[in-house]
Amino acid sequence: MNCLGVEQFPDYKVPGVQHVDFSPYESNGGSIVAIAGEDFVVIAADTRLSSGYSIHSRDQSKLFKMSPKTVLGSTGCWCDTLSLTGLVKVRMQMYEHTHMKTMSTDAVAQMLSIVMYNRRFFPYYVSNILAGLDKDGKGAVYSYDPIGHCERATYRAGGTAGALLQPVLDNQIGYKNQNLPADQLPPLTKERAVAVASDTFISAAERDIYTGDSVLINIITKDGVEERKLQLRKD
């Protein structure tokens, strides 16, 4: 089996060389939160790029503007993120050339699922959340697992602190386990969505070492994408 491996040639053994089993994957960390409203959607991602205990960059955006109405947030194995977003951008351009129109958020969502499932047996190791306005101008959030399972939601958290953030959103956006009558629940405004998203990141940065530095927030409305930035703790 290992007919060409260095271990077959003891005379040539190199002292001190580490023989590692190559792993094509690496977790580069990062978290995403997306919250859909009636006529807007907010998507936020932190800007820390790390592996293990070292931080490569403190200012790496993980939000990819796919069209004026669609933003993709992608974390996980950064090289897979780069390849996947690159491929999706190419295919969106092909769509634009053949159909003479920009892909709708729903179409991008479906395509992303297919592109990811194409690598079913060697998956893109990524946690994707797609946010945008749908055909009716309503806010839409789609979340994925690494092999392309796609689900539409109104709010979702993903990435290394996804499990930490999702219950917070359940409570604050989904009003789960809140024993208040429906008419007393505060309505989901744009500002409230941004505030909740910001707060979740501040909390995540406290507990998740892969989330921090700063958070980029994209607010998508029919008028375009507004970008905001919030500093997080940098340790």
Residues contributing to the site for other proteins (CB under 8 A): 1-7, 14-20, 22, 24-26, 28, 49, 54-60, 77-79, 82-83, 122
Which residue, 80 or 134, has its beta carbon nearer to other proteins?
80
Q: Dihedral, CA atoms, 117, 120, 124, 128, nearest 10 degrees?
A: 40
DSSP sequence for 36-83 = E-SS-EEEEEE--EEETTEEEES----EEEEETTEEEEEEESHHHHHH
Reference 42, options 160, 172, 180, 212; nearest CA is: 172
CB of 3 to other proteins, least distance (A): 8
Which residue, 125 or 155, has its beta carbon nearer to other proteins?
125
CB of 38 to other proteins, least distance (A): 36
What 3-state DSSP class applies to 32?
Answer: strand
Which residue, 196 or 232, has its beta carbon nearer to other proteins?
232
CB of 182 to other proteins, least distance (A): 46
Kindly state the DSSP code that residue 199 receives in the 8-state scheme.
Answer: H
Which residue, 53 or 177, has its beta carbon nearer to other proteins?
53
CB of 159 to other proteins, least distance (A): 16
